[in-house]
Structure 1
Amino acid sequence: MAAACARTFCNVSRLVYKTLPCRPDNGVVFSTRIYLQTQGNTYGTMGKRFRPKHLQFRPNLRRGGQALGCAFLIGGGFGLYHTINFTFQRHLAKESKVPDLNLTLYQYKTCPFCSKVRVFLDYHGLPYEIVEVNPVMRQEINWSTYRKVPILMVNGTTQLNDSSVIISTLMTYLISKEKTIPQIVACYPEMKAKSDSGKEVTEYGNKYWVMVDDAESGMLYPAKDSRKEEIKWRKWADDWLVHLISPNVYRTPMESLASFDYIVSEGKFGTFEGFFAKYFGAAAMWIISKRLKNRHNLQDDVRQDLYKAVNKWVAAIGKKQFMGGDNPNLADLAVFGVLRVMEGLQAFNDMMENTKVKKWYRSMEDAVHQN
């Protein structure tokens, strides 16, 4: 389609540019009838020809034909660029090797990290199966030494851990024409370390990098510093934004109870587990949220930290529709995935009413759900 658009713009430009300019002494307004013939499919027509259009030239525009031709060339160039860029980013999932992917996501529905992965998969049109994990027993992932979610199994053989590693791996796979999933996973080495409390933690190297060559990078990140900005905000979503969710959804006893009512209704709980989780879990998380507030140095009114973070994100986007420009990039998808888990709760409603995020958020909903 991009090629057809390019041919059409060139034909219009050439025909208009060759049109004789109006002379000052010609008092008659004339029109030039233009027919465009294209090869193969013709877009937006009833047959092989576009419907005739009349381009009128006023007698006081001496070189109007040449100017209009140049305008078509410039406009065609911009249009072709955005068409190619849009096609490249939004239809990667239709590449020939993508149907070979058999994806199974092990998740908690209300987990922000799991939500990030689902948003990425939905946006790129990748089909996947979901296995909802019981958060108490976690029997569904007994086969794994890695005991957190999300876990993504690819073709039943390759296990991907950590939401950001999953997203970077799949994005690399969609773009690269040569690398396999196991080859790409090797680019994100697992590293063991100890936290300040002495607990062993697992981290992954390079997890915010999409492993593409220079040519592919130029297509994926056409704007200056766009790759750097994407990495910066993906990391911000993991290191800061996600830690604002629990203190806000469990801010008061009533909010905590409402949150656990949603968690139980959407999660995989037995009857007794659901009752226990709803009431005892809500009380426990309300207490824990106070500790989280102190751990992350949040204000007494944790809503203000949420508002500040969200407005900071919107300010960074500026006048663009998305952080990625005309289309969401991985940072857009990550932030949207984190915020989306609050939908239906008081914290989400307050955020939409008291910040400037609504326009971007609704645009993200449309972008993700179009596939």
Structure 2
Amino acid sequence: MHCGTLCKANMAAACARSLSKVGWDLLDSPAAHRPGTLSYLLGNASAHGSRRAYSTGGTGFRSKLLSSARAGGGRVLGCAFLLGGGLGLYQTLKRSAQQHLAAEETNVSRFSTEERSRGGLKLTLYQYKTCPFCSKVRAFLDYYGLPYEIVEVNPVMRKEIKWSAYRKVPILMVDGELQLNDSSVIISSLKTHLINKMSREKNLSEILRCYPEMKSTNDRGKEVTEYNNKYWLMLNENETATVYPKKEMQTEEMKWRKWADEWLVHLISPNVYRTTGEALASFDYIVREGKFGSVEGFFAKYVGAAAMFLISKRLKSRHNLQDDVRQDLYKAVNDWVSAIGKSRQFMGGDKPNLADLAVFGVLRVMEGLQAFDDMMENTKVKHWYNRMEKATLNHEGSAAAKSSH
């Protein structure tokens, strides 16, 4: 299945779910007519909403919509959100079911049968195409030439991972038995395995025990799962010296991998939904490509665009970003390029390291969007990015992977 179709299905489903949630909250809330209620409910809905948009464009209906929200037409607006979300969800589920049937028939794979027959691990990646953490894992697997199959998870029903107690993506299944969760754990454990396999010191199950799972409550009162040591490779002294000839190389790689997870990834959504024009254009694209009817398309485009624009503002506030969030993106990307310096092609030197793969994986989910084009035009990242794209497409790290078979 073409990845663009999957992107549109995921995006439309997540947005429809957000609209329905907002609609029910507006209708049920006794404070539906009080000023500020809309912003509050949209903030709550953002935890369930989509974090992607497409392209940029004009404005139009949004000023009337937002002014009516401020005037307190809560119940009417609630009906609009509910109807728009419900109709959009129906269209998405119908379309998504057709797509998933097609996907099951083709069983999407990144490599040929001949390549898979060479031996090694059988890898199956459960993902959302537009998830930056999933993109990180794909960048790693592609660079090292590791054959893997993709199962695209339906963001509404998530039936593809109903067997898993861990309800997030990415999930990587190894040989149909061993489950790896969390993108950084997946990357660290597989990289350790590739190195250890030469000396046969540890198998992958033993390596995975070095990344224990811990549950805690975050500052918003939500239970979260974290993994200790996830930026470490579990190597002996000789292996460490081989992989990191200079001691500072290991520290630098870990620092920037963590930076990609804890800072860079949070710049994506606010930049994608930066303006009402971008939000409107994204929903216009979804409606057009998703073949919505006129009524469904009206609510999905105008109500949905307003909702996601307001949600993006909440995300901007949560992460203390500037009013012009592009400037945060530009600064982050230029900081990364400056850290690499002029004497290296990659953070890893002549070849990408795990930090290169992580940053590349996060940034490439914006490809095709105005935010990506602006980033390439207004920062110094273009040459590094093009080198990374070539390295992953050509599986330039595959020599190390093959030597471990």
Query: TM-score when scaled to structure 1?
Result: 0.69
AA of the residue aligned to 1:367: A
Q: Distance in 2 between matches of 1:142 and 1:132?
A: 13
Following TM superposition, by how much is the alpha carbon of 1:185 offset from its aligned partner in structure 2, in angstroms? 0.8
Matched, 1:301 2:324: yes
Residues 259 and 345, structure 1, Cα contact 8 Å, conserved in 2: no
Alignment map for 1:39-78 (pairs within 5 Å): none
Q: CA RMSD in A?
A: 2.4
Residues 225/248 of structure 1: CA separation in 2 closer, same or farther (3 Å cut):
same
* Paired residue secondary structure (1:153): strand
AA of the residue aligned to 2:358: A
Residues 110 and 263, structure 1, Cα contact 8 Å, conserved in 2: no
Between Structure 1 and Structure 2, the one with more helix by share is 2
Q: Distance in 2 between matches of 1:343 and 1:200?
A: 32
Residues 281/155 of structure 1: CA separation in 2 closer, same or farther (3 Å cut):
farther
* Paired residue secondary structure (2:233): coil
Aligned to 1:333: 357
Residues 262/235 of structure 1: CA separation in 2 closer, same or farther (3 Å cut):
farther
Q: Distance in 2 between matches of 1:147 and 1:282?
A: 27
Following TM superposition, by how much is the alpha carbon of 1:284 offset from its aligned partner in structure 2, in angstroms? 2.9
AA of the residue aligned to 2:263: W
Aligned to 1:146: 166
Residues 366/131 of structure 1: CA separation in 2 closer, same or farther (3 Å cut):
same
Aligned to 1:239: 262
Matched, 1:250 2:276: no
Residues 101/198 of structure 1: CA separation in 2 closer, same or farther (3 Å cut):
same
Alignment map for 1:206-245 (pairs within 5 Å): 206-245=229-268
AA of the residue aligned to 2:174: V
Following TM superposition, by how much is the alpha carbon of 1:277 offset from its aligned partner in structure 2, in angstroms? 6.7
Q: Percent identity, aligned pairs only?
A: 74
Q: Distance in 1 between matches of 2:204 and 2:291?
A: 36
Note the alpha carbon deviations across 1:292-347, whole angstroms, 9 max, x for none.
10011100000000000000000000021100000000000000000000000000
* Paired residue secondary structure (1:100): coil
Matched, 1:366 2:384: no
Residues 307 and 355, structure 1, Cα contact 8 Å, conserved in 2: yes
- Residue ranges of structure 1 left out of the alignment (5+ in a row): 1-96
AA of the residue aligned to 1:295: R
Aligned to 1:108: 128
Residues 252/209 of structure 1: CA separation in 2 closer, same or farther (3 Å cut):
same
Matched, 1:202 2:225: yes
Residues 308/363 of structure 1: CA separation in 2 closer, same or farther (3 Å cut):
same
Q: Distance in 1 between matches of 2:119 and 2:288?
A: 33
Residues 116 and 163, structure 1, Cα contact 8 Å, conserved in 2: yes
Aligned to 1:322: 346
Aligned to 1:182: 205
Residues 142/231 of structure 1: CA separation in 2 closer, same or farther (3 Å cut):
same
Following TM superposition, by how much is the alpha carbon of 1:287 offset from its aligned partner in structure 2, in angstroms? 1.5
Residues 98 and 174, structure 1, Cα contact 8 Å, conserved in 2: no
Q: Distance in 2 between matches of 1:359 and 1:109?
A: 25
Residues 208/279 of structure 1: CA separation in 2 closer, same or farther (3 Å cut):
farther
Residues 258/247 of structure 1: CA separation in 2 closer, same or farther (3 Å cut):
same
AA of the residue aligned to 1:151: I
Alignment map for 1:11-90 (pairs within 5 Å): none
AA of the residue aligned to 2:394: Q
Work out the number of aligned pairs and report it.
Answer: 273
Residues 104/188 of structure 1: CA separation in 2 closer, same or farther (3 Å cut):
same
Q: Distance in 2 between matches of 1:142 and 1:281?
A: 28
Aligned to 1:161: 181
* Paired residue secondary structure (2:216): strand
AA of the residue aligned to 1:202: T
Whichever of the two has the greater Rg, that structure is 1
* Paired residue secondary structure (1:361): helix
Residues 175 and 216, structure 1, Cα contact 8 Å, conserved in 2: yes
Q: Distance in 2 between matches of 1:323 and 1:98?
A: 31
Residues 169 and 181, structure 1, Cα contact 8 Å, conserved in 2: yes
Following TM superposition, by how much is the alpha carbon of 1:99 offset from its aligned partner in structure 2, in angstroms? 2.4
* Paired residue secondary structure (2:247): coil
Q: Distance in 1 between matches of 2:284 and 2:361?
A: 21
Q: Distance in 2 between matches of 1:218 and 1:121?
A: 24
Query: TM-score when scaled to structure 2?
Result: 0.63
Note the alpha carbon deviations across 1:51-77, whole angstroms, 9 max, x for none.
xxxxxxxxxxxxxxxxxxxxxxxxxxx
Aligned to 2:141: 121
Aligned to 2:77: none
Following TM superposition, by how much is the alpha carbon of 1:182 offset from its aligned partner in structure 2, in angstroms? 1.1
Following TM superposition, by how much is the alpha carbon of 1:100 offset from its aligned partner in structure 2, in angstroms? 2.9
Equivalent position to 2:157, from 132, 137, 160: 137
Residues 119/163 of structure 1: CA separation in 2 closer, same or farther (3 Å cut):
same
Q: Greater shift after overlay, 226-235 or 282-291?
A: 282-291
AA of the residue aligned to 1:226: M
Following TM superposition, by how much is the alpha carbon of 1:139 offset from its aligned partner in structure 2, in angstroms? 1.2
AA of the residue aligned to 1:105: L
- Residue ranges of structure 2 left out of the alignment (5+ in a row): 1-116, 396-405
